[in-house]
């Protein structure tokens, strides 16, 4: 990348506040977060359990709405969209990978991967999807159902599906949370490689320093606030930074 290349923002939130519930039981899950996720990069959102990571991801991705502040995918402010347009935006411009894989059990591997394309009425693109199938290493499993695959293989299907529709941004919430460390490492390597090779954007929520170290940059949340950012993270540096949050007050 040259210095003349302007950094585009794939997604961002500005002054994001999210309050769950009302009155005495209200929880301020996001307490004024502003953060931009650059296009073509792999960003990890890191923080202790309950720090607001999933809430930030859900609001940035249009799965939930902010109490105040704004969320944007590219130049589109999500708060200006009605339900139908929001649904279309999530379908056409956003990919998701969840901890629980969320594949369609009755469909084969190949059908699951093609699902975003078929739903969007977009056919063809055989070559690109073929390449994606090879990237995730599932060529010999295309006719299997999800229940016939290991957890790591299922998550690799989910990663391929998330990228299949060529989204502006893929959001992943603890994508290795249900995997052993070896399969988890494969999925993380796959996410990082796909960003590098296709120039797509990934935003991943994790509480695991080893997972965060696969990202280009880590943003740290604590108590619903953005408290730090780290370029070119290593697991040791992320772990050190996390320990600093846990000093008893
Ligand atoms: N649907 C909900 N209703 C009420 N409180 C919630 C809800 N979702 C999350 N919270 C609370 O908001 C805070 C942040 O949660 P979350 O975003 O899930 O954190 P993280 O993903 O970092 O573990 C926590 O205190 C959590 O209990
Ligand atoms: Mg979470």
User: Angle 181-198/126-136 helices, nearest 10 degrees?
Assistant: 140
| Residue 25 in contact with ligand 1 by CB distance below 6 A | no
Q: Bridge partners of 44?
A: 204, 218
CA pair distance 35, 11, nearest whole angstrom: 9
Collapsing DSSP to helix, strand or coil, 44 comes out as strand
Element (H, E) at 189: helix 181-198
Nearest CA to ligand 1 atom 26: 50
* Tokens describing residue 30: 């996001």
| Residue 68 in contact with ligand 1 by CB distance below 6 A | no
Closest ligand to 221 CA? 1
Residue 119: per-residue pLDDT: 63
Residue 123: per-residue pLDDT: 59
| Residue 54 in contact with ligand 1 by CB distance below 6 A | yes
Could you list the pLDDT tens digit for every one of the 249 residues in the chain?
444 456 799 999 999 999 999 999 999 999 999 999 999 999 999 999 999 999 999 999 999 999 999 999 999 999 999 999 999 999 999 999 999 999 999 999 999 998 888 666 565 577 888 888 988 899 999 999 999 999 999 999 999 999 998 899 999 999 999 999 999 999 999 999 999 988 999 999 999 999 999 999 999 999 999 999 999 999 999 999 998 877 555
Report the CATH superfamily, name and number, of domain 40-54+80-243.
P-loop containing nucleotide triphosphate hydrolases (3.40.50.300)
| Residue 165 in contact with ligand 1 by CB distance below 6 A | no
Rounded (10°) CA dihedral 187, 71, 45, 247: -160
The CA 150 to ligand 2 mean position distance, Å, reads: 23
Closest ligand to 64 CA? 1
Per-residue DSSP letters for 80-120? G--HHHHHHHHHHHEEEEETT----TTS-HHHHHHHHHHHT
Residue to substitute in 21, 27, 61 for testing ligand 1 pocket (most ligand atoms within 8 angstroms of CB)? 27
CB of 114 closer than 8 Å to CB of 129: yes
Atom of ligand 1 nearest to the CA of 57: 17
* Tokens describing residue 66: 């902010």
| Residue 21 in contact with ligand 1 by CB distance below 6 A | yes
């Amino acid at each position: 990348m040259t210095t003349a290349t302007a950094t585009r923002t794939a997604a961002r939130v500005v002054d994001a506040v999210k309050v769950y519930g009302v009155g005495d039981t209200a929880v301020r899950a996001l307490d004024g977060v502003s953060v931009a996720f650059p296009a073509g990069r792999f960003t990890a959102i890191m923080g202790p359990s309950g720090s607001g990571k999933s809430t930030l991801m859900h609001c940035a991705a249009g799965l939930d709405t902010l109490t105040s502040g704004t969320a944007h995918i590219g130049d589109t402010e999500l708060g200006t969209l009605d339900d139908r347009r929001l649904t279309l935006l999530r379908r056409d411009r956003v990919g998701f990978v969840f901890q629980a894989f969320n594949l369609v059990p009755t469909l084969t591997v190949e059908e699951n991967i093609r699902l975003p394309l078929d739903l969007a009425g977009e056919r063809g693109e055989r070559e690109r999807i073929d390449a994606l199938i090879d990237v995730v290493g599932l060529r010999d499993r295309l006719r299997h159902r999800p229940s016939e695959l290991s957890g790591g293989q299922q998550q690799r299907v989910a990663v391929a599906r998330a990228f299949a529709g060529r989204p502006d941004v893929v959001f992943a919430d603890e994508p290795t949370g249900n995997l052993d460390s070896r399969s988890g490492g494969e999925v993380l390597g796959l996410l990082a490689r796909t960003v590098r090779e296709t120039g797509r954007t990934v935003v991943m929520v994790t509480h695991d320093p080893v997972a965060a170290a696969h990202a280009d940059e880590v943003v740290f949340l604590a108590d619903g606030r953005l408290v730090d950012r780290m370029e070119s993270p290593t697991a040791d540096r992320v772990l050190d930074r996390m320990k600093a949050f846990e000093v008893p007050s």
